[in-house]
Amino acid sequence: MKKNFLALAAGLIAACGYAPLKAWPLTLLAMALLLWLVADAPRLRSALARGWWFGVGHFTLGLNWIATAFTFQAAMPAWLGWIAVVLLSLYLAVYPAVATGLAWRWGTARSSAGTTGGTDALRLVLMFAAAWIVTEWLRATLFTGFAWNPLGVALLPTPVSWTAMWIGTYGLSGITILCAGMLLILWHRQWRPAAGLAAALAAAVGGAALTSRPAEGAARVALRIVQPNIGQQEKWREGFEAVNMARLETLSAGPPPAEPRLLLWPEAAITEPLQTELDYLPLQRDAALLRREVGALLRPGDLLLSGGITWRSATGKDLTSATNSVFAIGAGGRILARYDKAHLVPYGEYLPMRPILSAIGLSRLAPGDVDFDAGPGAQTLDLPLVGKAGFQLCYEIIFSGEVVDRRNRPAFLFNPSNDAWFGAWGPPQHLAQARLRALEEGLPVLRSTPTGISAVIDAEGSLLASLPWRERGVIDTRLPLPKPPTLFAHFGNVLPLAFALLLAGLAIVIGRRAGAIANRPETR
């Protein structure tokens, strides 16, 4: 039981590597401790339990911002938020538990009685890294997926993160395990395996850096990112629409630019529908007036990309659903294109099993009685002024390998978001994951959020400009250039899964060689 509490503590410590703390050395130490606990486990059940307790601590601390979302929901008490965090963590901890179970089963030497009989640390580390890659990918895929805070994002401040250009975020998580595993190997004084692993990691990091090609493209477009600092408690308050629009207009205005510009507003910046399918003339008129008001801010050649909503109707009369969208708007208020969010947030944008949950008093965390409809997925829209643009609305940006239409590669990604209900930990974590998408795909990422952190990220994942959390302001700069497609941009998540297969294969080969040596007559 003491080892389970030690695993819980290791999970809490490992989460300190994520933003805003960014104490990534603690993550490596905690993962090394978890590896030691797996090697020390006498039975498979013990290894599974230690991995599960690790996950409970890891996700409870790392996802504490979810509790803040409940403070904006009058239909449910705020204390329910912490229960939700713990319940979610109890489920998510299954994935680290499976990883530790696989590592124990295939990465440790056991006697005929089933207990561990000595530790080949390299074999254990390789198998655990392989298992972690696969289980983290599964976490991002099963039951609509929840990819928040992959382990590898903790190493974003280090050169090790460059390997994401080759093997993506899940592969980077495996690399993180290998880095932590060197500590375990050194603890066991297995110097040659430690030196070999260190050399392989250095070669991977150096290779990724050397094969990275510079950004390329024509003259860059002038852009302005707007951060109005409108909190969740204000945004949907009755009568606040005029204040909201006035603040957006003020921040968007300025001296007449010498050239057309790209203007970027946050997710749901416009709280009233810009389009409606309801066959109701006053609503149609209101939407048209709103489009003209927004379009009046734009000069000829300007382009606005703004979050907004569309009301939909199955009957033409009643509001039955909506879309969470990005609208491309030109001068005069003409809608040039629309992207509808595809990866919707359970309980935020739709209520699963609505008839059952609504009957017991549960509701969505975001305001509204209707659910959002999902869009078709990653799209590239060809727009005036900027050319090919990709879109990932808020939560969508966290899904590695799913953010770009690979058949029609964009020149940049726009990631409007509403992080105003994510507390102090959510926004910097969201930003870090957006930076990983830029690094993986070799594409700039532009973020506009109501309360921060809005940012301009270049095609190598570096932060070129940002606005602090809870600060009103604008970013005036130019659109960064894209890089040629990275290896990951070509093949996606096939690469980290192939990397996991390679690591598992190496671990099995090491185990068989050790078994063959142990069975030689002269070693008996």
| DSSP secondary structure letter of residue 424 | T
CA distances from 475 to 244, 262, 298 (A): 19, 11, 17
- How many Å apart are CA 88 and CA 347, to the nearest integer? 13
User: Active-site residue numbers?
Assistant: 267, 341, 394
Residue bearing tokens 């070799």? 442
- How many Å apart are CA 151 and CA 155, to the nearest integer? 8
Q: Residue 306 forms beta bridges with which residues? A: 327
Tens-digit pLDDT string for the chain (524 aa) = 789 999 999 999 999 999 999 999 999 999 999 999 999 999 999 999 999 999 999 999 999 999 887 776 655 676 778 898 999 999 999 999 999 999 999 998 653 333 333 458 999 999 999 999 999 999 999 988 999 999 999 999 999 999 999 999 999 999 999 999 999 999 988 899 999 999 999 999 999 989 888 887 766 899 999 999 988 777 667 777 788 888 999 999 877 677 999 999 999 898 889 988 888 888 888 889 999 999 999 999 999 999 998 988 877 778 888 899 999 999 989 999 999 999 887 766 665 545 544 544 455 555 556 788 889 999 999 999 999 999 999 999 999 999 999 999 999 999 999 988 888 899 999 999 999 999 999 999 999 999 989 999 999 999 999 999 999 999 999 999 999 999 999 999 999 999 999 999 999 998 887 655 555 665 55
Interacting residues of 79 by C-beta distance below 8 A, sequence separation 6+: 70
Query: How far out from the chain centre does Cα 39 lie?
Result: 31
Residue bearing tokens 């000829």? 300
- DSSP, collapsed to helix, strand or coil, labels residue 306 as strand
Q: What pLDDT score was predicted for residue 517? A: 59
Q: Is the whole-model pTM more than 0.85?
A: yes
Classify domain 222-485 at the CATH superfamily level.
Carbon-nitrogen hydrolase (3.60.110.10)
Q: What pLDDT score was predicted for residue 117? A: 36
Q: What pLDDT score was predicted for residue 436? A: 98
Reference 46, options 100, 9, 82; nearest CA is 100
- 371 burial (CB, 10 Å; 0-12 / 13-18 / 19+) is middle
DSSP states of 449-483 as a string?
A: -SSS--EEE-TTS-EEEE--TT--EEEEEEPPPPP
Reference 223, options 264, 177, 185, 254; nearest CA is 264
- How many Å apart are CA 512 and CA 499, to the nearest integer? 20
**CB half-sphere exposure, 211, CA atoms < 13 A:** 15
For CA atoms 86, 28, 17, 168, give the dihedral sign: negative
- How many Å apart are CA 288 and CA 274, to the nearest integer? 7
In the chain, residues under CATH classification 3.60.110.10 are 222-485
- 181 burial (CB, 10 Å; 0-12 / 13-18 / 19+) is buried
Number of C-beta neighbours around residue 22 at 10 A: 15
Pairing between strand 473-478 and 222-227?
Answer: antiparallel
Which helix (DSSP H) or strand (DSSP E) does residue 134 occupy?
helix 121-139
DSSP states of 1-43 as a string?
A: -HHHHHHHHHHHHHGGGSTTT--HHHHHHHHHHHHHHHHH-SS
Number of C-beta neighbours around residue 365 at 10 A: 22
Q: Residue 307 forms beta bridges with which residues? A: 326
Reference 99, options 193, 17, 2, 181; nearest CA is 181
Number of C-beta neighbours around residue 292 at 10 A: 12
Radius of gyration of the chain (CA): 25
How far separated are the first and last CA of the chain, in Å rounded? 36
Provide the H-helix boundaries in 336-491.
354-359, 426-441, 487-491
Q: Residue 413 forms beta bridges with which residues? A: 390, 445
